[in-house]
Amino acid sequence: MTKLLEKAFDEASQLSEGEQDAFAAFLLSELRSERKWEELFAGSQDKLSDLASEALSVHRKGKTSRLRSTDL
């Protein structure tokens, strides 16, 4: 365990039992969410590459325009 993670758990251990459970639920949810996004991105590299190639092709054909700050 890293020093920073150990420090975080040390501080969390000083919370009330309910706050500790809420923190633990939040942390576990974040870890599950992170794993899910990693899996989704890992499985989408081919599609992302295809989309990037298509965008470059459209740009090279002159069918794109610069965004103005008012467009944002």
Q: What is the pLDDT of residues 14-45, one digit of tens each?
A: 999 999 999 999 999 999 999 999 998 888 88
Q: What percent of the chain has pLDDT over 90?
A: 75
Q: Hunting for tokens 């459970």 — which residue is that? A: 21
Q: How many CA atoms lie within 13 A of 59 on its CB side?
A: 7
User: For the chain, what is the largest distance between any 2 Cα atoms, rounded to a whole number of angstroms?
Assistant: 62
Confidence check: pLDDT of 72 > 70:
no
Over the Cα atoms of the chain, what is R_g?
22
DSSP string computed for 10-38: HHHTTS-HHHHHHHHHHHHHHHHHHHHHH
Q: Which two tokens stand for residue 49?
A: 């590459």
